[in-house]
Amino acid sequence: MSSQLLIAARPYLQLCSVLTLTLPPNFHTLSEQRRRRLLSIFACYTLLILAIGGYVTYINILGVYFEIKLYKLEEFTNVLGVMHSIFYTILLAAIHLNMLLQYRRLGSLYVDIAQVERDIFKATQPYKDFTSVLSFRWRLALNSGLLMVFLVVTYSYILVPLLAKSFTLHEQILTVFILGLLQLKCVEYCVFVQLIQELILSLKRQLQQLQREMEDCGENDALLQALCSALRLNQLLLLRVWALVGELEAYFMLPMVLLFFSNGATIFYTVNWVYIQSPNPNDCCRYWRPCIILVLLVNLFVPCWLTQCCINSYNSFSNMLHSVEHGNSRMLIMRLREYALQLQHLKLLFTCGGLFDINLKFFAGLIATISTYVIILIQFKMQADIEAKQATNNAANSHVPFLPFR
């Protein structure tokens, strides 16, 4: 944690460790003996949270059975509700298992981020253009911090009215805690994405400074050679940042895949209840269900938006290289071509194990997919309602006595 950027992100990582979403930030700086002791304590704490998650799943299944009997609903809603409740424990167990099995990968990710930051600082020191840590703290608070506050406040406030009427106060508190905890995994992911983007922005500012010096160097061979060396260093550092994204993808693959799937299933399940309760004028949750859908969509949108901003910053390097005035220097031309070729072949992608890319295009596709399934669900339910009404009318007509015409 000697990195200034990691120190700025430490409060968010520390809060995530309290919620058992990640290991404590200082875990990787301890001695081997203290590390084993802390890992044992943290594993017991994680098992406690997992046990609470299992209990929340159990009471939610009972709540589903209670509401199925209360409203006399069909079997589809019963199965969908039970599967939705079981997925809470599956997602929580996947987060904990991934954290405990890949803690070495997380430690190497911290080390690599700190090392790349130090190397960038050395490379940009002659230009005095390294990012202010204070500005990074502000951007981190504006994006990840604001998302965290939004989830804690809105999710807990909106979720309570949607819980089963059979829940007691402590069951409501535990359910809100576990479901909110799962949503905060996106905040941890956003913090790391912003760390990557900050490194890219630092290299971009250095490249802008090099571009200005290349335009003013003229035919000075010694200066051109120094600028080519600095450009080569900038290229290698950007390559290391690109490799960091691969490590980030490997660490967050399983939790993010399940989280996106879980939020999509929750939206689908909530829409099902919106349709069920639409004829009920006394429904107290008429306006809360669309709100919880909006909160879940926001939690999916923010990481997609941040990764898209990071990708756009990376892609802007190509335009900057093409705008450099290289004159007749063959050495500089070859260096620019090599850099542009690297950017052309090494596209920056934030993916979940290759299953899907995390960007705004994927978010639009996710909205389209959810909308398609919702339309199919409503069509089947409307057809079932029409058939049920026809069967009721036929049964009623069959019991009407025949009166002959007089």
* Long-range contacts, 366-373 (Cβ 8 Å, 24+): 366/260, 366/264, 366/300, 367/297, 369/264, 370/264, 370/267, 370/268, 373/268
Q: pLDDT digits over 283-295, tens only?
A: 777 778 888 889 9
More confident residue, 367 or 272: 367
Q: pLDDT digits over 128-151, tens only?
A: 544 567 788 889 999 998 999 999
* Long-range contacts, 168-176 (Cβ 8 Å, 24+): 171/56, 171/59, 174/52, 174/55, 174/56, 174/59, 175/56, 175/59, 175/60
Got the DSSP string for 194-261?
A: HHHHHHHHHHHHHHHHHHHHHHH-TT-HHHHHHHHHHHHHHHHHHHHHHHHHHHHHHHHHHHHHHHHH
Neighbours of 379 (CB within 10 A): 10
Tell me how far apart the alpha carbons of residues 231 and 237 are, in angstroms, rounded to a whole number: 10
Give the pLDDT score at 129.
Answer: 46
Q: Does the structure show a pLDDT above 80 at 378?
A: no
Tell me how far apart the alpha carbons of residues 235 and 18 are, in angstroms, rounded to a whole number: 38
Give the pLDDT score at 94.
Answer: 92
pTM of the full predicted structure? 0.88
Q: Which two tokens stand for residue 177?
A: 């805690």
Tell me how far apart the alpha carbons of residues 172 and 360 are, in angstroms, rounded to a whole number: 34
Q: pLDDT digits over 242-300, tens only?
A: 999 999 999 999 999 999 988 888 888 888 888 777 777 777 777 788 888 899 999 99
Residue range 23-38: mean pLDDT, rounded: 83
Give the pLDDT score at 236.
Answer: 93
Give the pLDDT score at 87.
Answer: 86
Tell me how far apart the alpha carbons of residues 60 and 171 are, in angstroms, rounded to a whole number: 9
Tell me how far apart the alpha carbons of residues 14 and 6 are, in angstroms, rounded to a whole number: 11
3 state DSSP class of 357? strand
Q: Does the structure show a pLDDT above 80 at 324?
A: no
Among 19-23, 75-79, 318-322, the range with the most confident prediction by mean pLDDT is 19-23
Binning pLDDT at 50, 70 and 90, where does residue 370 land? confident
Binning pLDDT at 50, 70 and 90, where does residue 218 land? low
Binning pLDDT at 50, 70 and 90, where does residue 198 land? very high
Q: Does the structure show a pLDDT above 90 at 52?
A: yes
Spatial CA neighbour of 385 closest among 278, 271, 268, 284: 278
Tell me how far apart the alpha carbons of residues 283 and 175 are, in angstroms, rounded to a whole number: 22
Tell me how far apart the alpha carbons of residues 322 and 320 are, in angstroms, rounded to a whole number: 5
Give the pLDDT score at 402.
Answer: 42
Residue range 151-166: mean pLDDT, rounded: 82
With pLDDT > 90 as the criterion, what percentage of the chain qualifies? 30
More confident residue, 193 or 278: 193
Kindly report the average pLDDT of the chain as a whole number: 84
Give the pLDDT score at 306.
Answer: 94
Q: Does the structure show a pLDDT above 50 at 405?
A: no
Give the pLDDT score at 404.
Answer: 44
Q: Which two tokens stand for residue 275?
A: 């349709």
Q: Does the structure show a pLDDT above 80 at 365?
A: yes
